[in-house]
Amino acid sequence: MKIAFLGLGIMGSRMSERLIRAGEEVTVWNRTAGKAEGLKRLGAKEAASPKEAAAGADVALTMLADPASVEAVALGREGLIEGLKPGAAYIDMTTVSPATSRKLGEAAARRGVAFLDAPVTGSKPAAAAGELLLMVGGEAATLQRLRPVLQPMSKKIVHMGPVGAGSLMKLVNNLSMAGAMAAFFEGFVLGRRGGLSEEGIMEVLASGALSSPLLRLKGDAILKRDFEPLFSLKHMAKDVHLAVEEAAGMKLEAPIMQLLDERFTEAQKRGLNEEDYAALIKLYGLDPLKGDGSR
């Protein structure tokens, strides 16, 4: 199968590598040059534009940043969809709004191209290991046909409903994660200020009812003061904001989302965009480690 993969960021570079290692014929494209070198050594071809990447592809995948970047790459003249042949398929795996997914689905249908929204959960390590969880919107038969393309990247694929349902589920997922982690960061600082040891706090939380891979991952980042992005704060801020907009469209009263949106916006103003979203804890004035690594 000929696959076009567009967007070689933290996630896309690793997801496309999984496809190449699974033996697929992959052509990649990225806005900023130089990100495809490692993939080319593994056998990928590199295209000069989204349309060129799409030409001849049976399936095109995008893993970009947000609704605006996906629309810029996929829609319009010279865009990805225009480059696809009728009968081909397009799967967007970016976290976007359900409305964006529907817009992409309609544009694809006009070209005779099948469409799925298939956002993912699981971070950089899960992308590298091919262990992402996919939530998919679109026709069940299309998903059935395209499962072999998604399988090398994922440990589980859940069909959520029509186009847009995958994107809505992704917002539900990330809103839940952001809320749980924001409460954890606040609790962590509360314990620390009260004199509890950081290791003690983590030992209890990670052994109790809240124990989860996410808690361990973010707790470890905080103990090490390592905010190298696995999932950047700007993207979590974007996801919370998309959830707020979705709730507003449904006239749903959602005060916790609103508060999270304010906290992430504040973190963005403080220049934390490119750090992991665990850096939200810095809003509380987390003490840095001493020169010898102690606290």
Q: Shortest gap between Cβ of 27 and ligand NAP (angstroms)?
A: 15
Coil/strand/helix, residue 232 = strand
Between 46 and 66, CB nearer to ligand NAP: 66
Residue in the structure block whose two tokens are 């072999």? 148
Between 87 and 125, CB nearer to ligand NAP: 125
Tell me how long the chain is. 295
The amino acid present at 223, given as its one-letter code, is: L
Q: Shortest gap between Cβ of 126 and ligand NAP (angstroms)?
A: 8
Q: Shortest gap between Cβ of 160 and ligand NAP (angstroms)?
A: 15
Structure token digits, residue 66: 């947000």
Q: Quick one: residue 148, left, alpha or beta (phi over 0 = left, psi -120 to 50 = alpha)?
A: alpha
Size of interface with ligand NAP, in residues (CB under 6 A):
28
Structure token digits, residue 177: 């994660």
List CB contacts of 161: < 8 A, sequence separation 6 or more: 137
The answer to whether residue 51 forms part of the interface with ligand NAP (CB under 6 A) is no
Sign of CA dihedral 131, 62, 137, 254: positive
Residues annotated catalytic, as ranges: 170
DSSP strand pairing (132-137 vs 120-121): antiparallel
Between 113 and 127, CB nearer to ligand NAP: 127
Interface mask (CB under 6 A) for ligand NAP, residues 235-254, using x and -? Answer: x---x---------------
In angstroms, the CA 18 to CA 184 distance is: 33
Piece of 2-10, 149-157, 177-185, 191-199 that binds ligand NAP (CB under 6 A): 2-10
Q: Shortest gap between Cβ of 247 and ligand NAP (angstroms)?
A: 18
Backbone φ, ψ for residue 285 (5° rounding): 75, 50
Q: Which of residues 65-94 bind ligand NAP (CB under 6 A)?
A: 65-66, 69, 72-73, 94
Between 62 and 188, CB nearer to ligand NAP: 62
Piece of 37-45, 117-125, 138-146, 265-273 that binds ligand NAP (CB under 6 A): 117-125
170 CB-side CA count, 13 A: 33
Piece of 59-67, 155-163, 216-224, 261-269 that binds ligand NAP (CB under 6 A): 59-67
Between 14 and 159, CB nearer to ligand NAP: 14
* CA distance between the termini of the chain: 53
Check if the beta carbon of residue 118 is closer than 8 Å to that of residue 150: yes
Among 4, 5, 9, 267, binds ligand NAP (CB under 6 A): 9
Q: Which of residues 164-183 bind ligand NAP (CB under 6 A)?
A: none
List CB contacts of 183: < 8 A, sequence separation 6 or more: none
Q: Which residues bind ligand NAP (CB under 6 A)?
A: 7-12, 30-32, 35, 63-66, 69, 72-73, 94-95, 120-121, 123-124, 230-232, 235, 239
